[in-house]
Amino acid sequence: MIIRGLIPYVLFLSCLALVTNSVPYLSIWHFVDHRRYGAFPEEDHVSLAYVLGGNFMTRLMFMQHFKSVLNYSDHYFRLYFIVDDENRADVNDLMTSWNISNCEWFFYNLTEYDSRVKWIPNSHYSKYYGLSKLLIPEIISDNVLKIMFVDVDIVFRSDIFHLWQKFRDFNKLQSIGMVENLSDWYLNKDGKKSVWPAKGRGFNAGIIMMDLDRLREGDWKGKWRAVADKYLKLHGKTTMSDQDIFNAYIHDNPTEIKSLPCEYNFQLGTLTRSDELCVETPLALHFNSQNKTVRRNYVVYNAVRKEIEGIDGSDLRRRRRSLRKRALPSVSKPDSKISCEEYMPLQSFRILPNALGRLKETAKLCLVTQFSKDRLDSFIENAEHWKHPISAAIYGTDQDMTEIVEAVKTLNRPDLVLHMVFKEPTDQTMSQDIYPINYLRNTAVKYSNCDKILMTDVDFMVYEDTQDLVIQSRDLKDKEVLVIPAFETAENNITDVTTFPHTKEQLVEAFFNKKINVFRGITWPSAHNSTNVAEWIIAEDVYSVNYEKNYEPYFIIKKSSCPMYDQRFGGFGWNKVTHVLQLRMMNYTFKVSPTSFMIHQNHNISNSLFRWRHDPHYQKCLHYLKKQFVLETADELGLQLK
């Protein structure tokens, strides 16, 4: 009865925490269904702890890891995320958009505790994030009695609940469960000073089952610090981070360890002898190496990981009996004569912001774009040419995302930031194929850490000294945009961007020789006529232009004042025109860069454009949606339409 009485109060605190930044993360918890808090049967749920911080890849690795967990288990999960400032929002957006029905999650602010381990000298690449595992009994709420820490580089091949049940095998003295370390490191055959003491081969810290109640009662908080201080005087620093301290603790307190079956942490690091020391079929693969591992059977195990990466995370969610909800667009219901819903893209997706890369400091100017796998080559060419940061929303299946990330990682540019938007299966035959371009644009804008943003499509290359753009956009006011003139080659079969004009002088010459045209100057002249190329050719300074109907330039704008794109528009048709029209209705001024320009990369016609050209009902619906957009925007701005 007491717990039931507290639930409304707990929910009130949760809501209060959402509207203030001063409340620590441990007061902020997010559930898929708030009514189910505390409703999971204690014997039928798994409590998992994760430390996410530092390397931006941990967010992506966590998602892939948890897909492997969900792939084999239908049990309930409580996830306890110990995160830094950078990871909390991204992980919460992932979990909220994933909407897994049998999962609830909590956040704890790592920055409030990191000083408790930063005093420990440590040469391991995990830095103090790894050491933070030692603090789990201190950080996690006292009402959590048992928990299992899991590294995000572990891929499960069986139901994790079977491992969770190993708590039943703990005797009255055992408080920690770990798998033996499958290497000779702690045997220290060479007598290295850097190797800490351990019981036998020692234990691997990739999975740690913790009886928190016993650890707290046994003064874990004081005892591990005493052990660390004792052996730091002998060894100077930790080489294996928290694992050294866990093993030294077990060495001094051997009755507290429960040895777990080796198949639940089959280690694939460079120094391991897993194939020799563990003959059981691996049930949890631990890719515990900073470097690529090359060893016997690694290809087989890596194939398992690749298979998990390719699994549709949304499919896992549906298997968990979650109600699939499609967010309704903010549009008046069409009358019975016009049924346009099938022509609108979905409005809700599973997302992973900052899946690859992150800007630690706000950039002066970023290129903001979106693409799917079929435009990957265009993005690569853009990234090799554009030397400023890029914020890009990428769209596709889980398998598509894996391929895109692998390709972009080879560029070795930390200022290329990718935000994943996962394609959602749908019952509708039409809308599942509509590319949600404005949703993607909004995602790329929202998660960009930039002062000014260049809104463009990925199949455009920007030329001339882009530093001039930084200077020209520096003084942009809240209601001003800087337009970049757009061109295309006269011949549609030209795809080699190295043949494009790279300077204004070359561009003007090609323009007069009819090798270059204004973009869509023949098929849709109103799109860019307002830019006034005749004026641009002779311009030496920024100049202003007037808005004309259906103008849709590419431009630089202050992120803080950029309105969101209307997400009802997807694929081809009015998706950019409506946004520029909104700027006009908000009294924006359109200025033009006198130095820079962009050229379109030719490619095959998209499905959306093909549909636009051949489906009259599609055109009719988009015209209807455009009309609705104008009426709604005018009403919001208090404008009277003529």
**What number is the average pLDDT over the span 290-295?**
53
Give the per-residue pLDDT at 494: 81
- Number of C-beta neighbours around residue 633 at 10 A: 18
pLDDT tens digit string along 363-378? 999 999 999 999 999 9
Check if the beta carbon of residue 76 is closer than 8 Å to that of residue 167: no
Check if the beta carbon of residue 181 is closer than 8 Å to that of residue 188: no
DSSP letters along 612-630, please?
HHH-HHHHHHHHHHHHHHH
Q: Confidence band (pLDDT; 50, 70, 90) for 500?
A: very high
**What number is the average pLDDT over the span 417-427?**
87
**What number is the average pLDDT over the span 295-307?**
83
Give the per-residue pLDDT at 44: 72
Return the axis-axis angle of helices 298-310 and 57-72, rounded to nearest 10°.
90
pLDDT at 334 over 50: no
pLDDT tens digit string along 40-91? 455 678 999 999 987 668 899 999 999 999 999 989 999 999 998 888 999 9
pLDDT at 640 over 70: yes
How far from 59 is each of 50, 104, 232, 401, 503, CA to CA, in Å? 11, 17, 32, 14, 41
Cα distance between residue 31 and residue 90, in whole Å = 16
> For every residue of 31-88, which 3-state class applies, written as one string?
ECCHHHCCCCCHHHEEEEEEEECCCCHHHHHHHHHHHHHHHHCCCEEEEEEEECHHHH
Return the axis-axis angle of helices 376-385 and 398-409, rounded to nearest 10°.
30
Nearest CA to 443 out of 461, 468, 464, 420 is that of 420
pLDDT at 94 over 70: yes
Pairing of strands 480-484, 460-463: unpaired
Give the per-residue pLDDT at 504: 97
Q: Tokens standing for 324?
A: 């699939």
pLDDT at 580 over 50: yes
Sole residue written with tokens 């940061």: 389
**What number is the average pLDDT over the span 115-132?**
88
Instruction: Report how far Cα 295 is from the mean position of its chain's Cα atoms.
Output: 31
Q: Which domains, ranges and CATH numbers included, belong to the chain?
A: 1-31 (no CATH), 44-316 (3.90.550.10), 341-637 (3.90.550.10)
Amino acid identity of 206? Answer: G
Q: Confidence band (pLDDT; 50, 70, 90) for 427?
A: low
**What number is the average pLDDT over the span 263-283?**
92
Cα distance between residue 399 and residue 455, in whole Å = 27
As a whole-number percent, the residues of the chain with pLDDT over 70 amount to 85
Q: Confidence band (pLDDT; 50, 70, 90) for 615?
A: confident
Cα distance between residue 316 and residue 350, in whole Å = 12
Q: Is the dihedral of CA 283, 284, 286, 287 positive or negative?
A: positive
Q: Tokens standing for 571?
A: 């694929």
Q: Tokens standing for 195?
A: 């190797």
How far from 505 is each of 127, 464, 465, 540, CA to CA, in Å? 52, 10, 13, 12
**What number is the average pLDDT over the span 402-408?**
96
Lowest-confidence segment of 287-291, 438-442, 474-478 by average pLDDT: 287-291
Cα distance between residue 262 and residue 274, in whole Å = 9
Check if the beta carbon of residue 379 is closer than 8 Å to that of residue 458: yes
Sole residue written with tokens 């641009």: 536
Give the per-residue pLDDT at 339: 66
Q: Tokens standing for 44?
A: 């039928």
Q: Tokens standing for 169?
A: 């095998």
Q: Confidence band (pLDDT; 50, 70, 90) for 625?
A: confident
Length of the chain: 642
Cα distance between residue 505 and residue 515, in whole Å = 14
Give the per-residue pLDDT at 295: 60
Cα distance between residue 28 and residue 7, in whole Å = 14
More confident residue, 616 or 391: 391
Instruction: Report how far Cα 455 is from the mean position of its chain's Cα atoms.
Output: 20
Check if the beta carbon of residue 36 is closer than 8 Å to that of residue 30: no
Nearest CA to 330 out of 347, 351, 352, 313 is that of 347
What's this model's pTM, rounded to 2 decimal places? Answer: 0.87
pLDDT tens digit string along 162-212? 999 999 999 999 999 999 999 999 998 888 888 999 999 999 999 999 999
pLDDT at 553 over 60: yes
Please give the backbone phi and psi of residue 88, each rounded to the nearest 5 degrees, phi first.
-60, -55
Cα distance between residue 82 and residue 388, in whole Å = 32
Average pLDDT, the chain: 87
Helices and strands in the chain: count of H runs, count of E runs: 21, 24
